[in-house]
Amino acid sequence: MAISLEEVKHLARLAKLEFSDPEYQQFTEEMNRILAYVEKLRELDTSDVEPLSHTTPLSNVMREDEVKPSLPVEEALRNAPDRKGNFFKVPKVIK
């Protein structure tokens, strides 16, 4: 399976990309090399290979929630550039 220069130009148009003629030629060659590699991989017998969704067998690595004491307000706000009472004061972003 090969990809033509016209198909590469069509893909570029769909992606709203513009290239020079030498770049289109280069991308055509590179995509054809990629497709040739994929075809080569299809020759491998993978019938005994279990599909992977992760590279490691971990299923859930989240720690259990634990109730712990919070940081005191004064310590949390100690380095705040601006504050209003017990809160961080930030610039308004929505008008």
Record the pTM: 0.50
Rounded Cα distance, 9 and 17, in Å = 9
Neighbours of 8 (CB within 10 A): 21
Alpha-carbon distance of 39 to 57, in angstroms, equals 29
Give the integer Cα–Cα distance in Å for 5 and 21: 10
Residue 49's pLDDT is: 85
Strands 83-84 and 87-88: antiparallel
Q: What per-residue confidence (pLDDT) applies to 25? A: 97
Quick: pLDDT tens for 6-48: 999 999 999 999 999 999 999 999 999 999 999 998 898 988 8
Mean pLDDT in the chain? Answer: 91
For the chain, list the strands marked E by DSSP.
83-84, 87-88
Q: Which domains does the chain have, with CATH numbers?
A: 5-42 (1.10.20)
